[in-house]
Amino acid sequence: MMVKEITVLSGKGGTGKTSVTASLAVLTKNAVLTDCDVDAPDLHLLLKPEVLEKQEFKASRVAVIDEEECVQCGKCEEHCRFGAIEKLVVDPVLCEGCGVCEYICPVAAIELEKRVSGYAFISKTKYGPMSHALLNPGEENSGKLVTLVRKNARKVAEKENCELIINDGPPGIGCPVIASVGGINVGLIVMEPTLSGIHDMERALGLLNHFKVPALVCVNKYDLNEENTSRIVQFCGSNGVEVVGKIPFDPIVTESMVAGKPIAKYSPESRVSKAIAELWKQTLKHL
Amino acid sequence: MILTVASGKGGTGKTTVAVNMALSLENVQLLDCDVEEPNSHILLQPKISETESVYTKVPAVSEEMCDYCGKCSRFCAYNALFVAPKTVMVFPELCHSCGGCTLVCPKNAITEKERQIGAIKKGEAKGVEIVYGELNVGEAMAVPLIRAVKNQMKNNKNVVIDAPPGTACSLVASVHKTDYCILVAEPTPFGLHDLKITVQVLKDLGVPMGVVINRAGLGDRKVYEYCQKENIPLLLEIPFSKKIAELYSRGIPFVAEMPEWKEKFMEVWDNIER
């Protein structure tokens, strides 16, 4: 069976990706959920996963100088392109683990040590299996950790015979987002009707287009500025992008978050839940 | 003073705080380091006076000199080079520009060429000097562009940096070597969770911090309790208001329509400086 995959993304942060994804989890049977926002994951706060497996994620290395061996020639400092060595001390935050210092050191006083950059988890939730992760604060390699989360999700999907993977994506359009959209079937952009939201949606659409991923758009809190919403609908229409749904603004979404539940579970009869159910129906036609 | 506005979670109001702060100060420069999705120029509408392309260095392999020994590819920590029996492939978007391949090549067959990853734009609006970066769509690495934006910093100015969301390398690059960091948090469980991770990054970096609560009145009191317990000063509360949200949706910084807020932002700045 071909496992289909959809990523919820947004460009701009805080537009409601996670709230929407959590509700899609409620509305879908037989799907694996992932949280690809590995440096600020929030989906677990609503899905309350029970961790079954925890995996160390060792992707980066960091230079360590042996002070006793060091002859203080300063070559490492001179060759480091990241400014990570100052007065012969390595700043682990700036070090990108390239290994140039280790190579250039004439007395072999520098070694690169592997470091744990984060953890990946495979869990179960009320709504299905979940693959997620947590990058250590300030780390790089978030893209690689996203790739691991998606790989784990695929394994679980095959094992448990799931038909669909729903990825909660990170904000932005850089490395972790690229890792979240490569090879997926559909990208669902959740956006707000603000000028910033429109600007960021255009860049997110550009990204999906660049990677040849079909795009769908959902306008969240559409009634905050209906004039902008109609501009978005028009813009999407003339660019061949379907607007699959419009979700009204309602403080009940924050209420459900405080209660630690997806809105579709907390209040299935609310306007917001109905709008999400409708947008999911439209989205499934593309999967 | 160099002040960074950050948040961890996206969409909490970093740009709103950074822009309104900048508009409340004199002699100020605003650096938008959210190069993936820069938004401060949407609120400021600056007149752009200069655009500069930003490049990173990537390897260029001379097929004439290369004997396909594979040392470069074994050295590269980022898998940006692949050597086959009769060809070398370079994956420029994976390259971190460390220069290692040029050093290890025994035949001196590798030089570095420049590759454009984005641009920085400089302009001015309402007395605020602004510099922002725009990463090319499809480009993975934001950090070199963030550094290019920060290189435009002027020592004789009050500097406000608008940081990207998240808690990974882009945040670190933005907040590195700044005097103080304002964390903009939403009083919700998501807001609290991401705030905690961001506080950890700033503690590791040794940057002093305070919290601005945006959309106060929504959610619950847990962010307040956390700040109190951790001794993180609460600098300002911006209430949840339809008027502010509506102004933002039209791209208008709220101090422009609600000038009484300028004083509050000035006070926050003065308190931090002290």
In order, the DSSP letters of chain B are: -EEEEE-SSTTSSHHHHHHHHHHHSSSEEEEE---SS--HHHHH-PEEEEEEEEEEEEEEE-TTT-----HHHHH-TT--EEEETTEEEE-GGG-----HHHHH-TT--EEEEEEEEEEEEEEEETTEEEEEEEEPTT----HHHHHHHHTT--TTSEEEEEPPSSSSHHHHHHHTT-SEEEEEE-SSHHHHHHHHHHHHHHHHHT--EEEEEEEETBS-SHHHHHHHHTT--EEEEEE--HHHHHHHHTT--HHHH-THHHHHHHHHHHHHH-
pLDDT at A93 over 90: no
pTM summary value: 0.93
Instruction: Check if A99 contacts B (Cβ < 8 Å).
Output: yes
pLDDT band at A139 (very low <50, low <70, confident <90, very high): confident
Q: Which fold has domain A60-115?
A: Alpha-Beta Plaits (3.30.70)
Query: Which residue intervals of chain A bear CATH 3.40.50.300?
Result: 4-56+120-284
pLDDT at A43 over 70: yes
Tell me what pLDDT residue A158 has. Answer: 96
Q: Please state which CATH class domain A4-56+120-284 belongs to.
A: alpha beta
Task: List pLDDT tens digits, range A255-271.
Answer: 999 999 999 999 999 99
Percentage of residues in chain A having pLDDT higher than 70? 100
C-alpha to C-alpha distance for B271 and B266, rounded to whole angstroms = 9
Nearest neighbour of B166 by CB, restricted to A39, A82, A100: A39
Query: Which residue intervals of chain A bear CATH 3.30.70.20?
Result: 60-115
**Looking at chain A, which residue has its C-alpha nearest residue B203?**
A137
Structure tokens at A84: 């990570």
| Cβ neighbours of B145 in A, within 8 Å | none
Domain B2-54+118-273 has CATH 3.40.47.10: no
Instruction: Check if A200 contacts B (Cβ < 8 Å).
Output: yes
Tell me what pLDDT residue B250 has. Answer: 95
Domain segments of chain B: what residues? 2-54+118-273, 63-108
Predicted ipTM of the assembly: 0.91
Asked if the Cβ–Cβ distance from B197 to A40 is below 8 Å, we say yes
pLDDT at A60 over 70: yes
Instruction: Check if B245 contacts A (Cβ < 8 Å).
Output: yes
pLDDT band at A1 (very low <50, low <70, confident <90, very high): low
Residues of chain B with pLDDT under 70: none
pLDDT at A119 over 70: yes
Asked if the Cβ–Cβ distance from B98 to A81 is below 8 Å, we say yes
**Looking at chain A, which residue has its C-alpha nearest residue B40?**
A196
pLDDT at A141 over 80: no
Options 3.10.20.600, 3.40.980.10, 3.30.70.20, 3.30.930.10; CATH for B63-108 is 3.30.70.20
Q: What is the mean pLDDT of chain A?
A: 96
Tell me what pLDDT residue A79 has. Answer: 97
Instruction: Check if B48 contacts A (Cβ < 8 Å).
Output: no
**Looking at chain A, which residue has its C-alpha nearest residue B75?**
A99
Task: List pLDDT tens digits, range B86-145.
Answer: 999 999 988 999 999 999 999 999 999 999 999 999 999 999 999 999 999 999 999 999
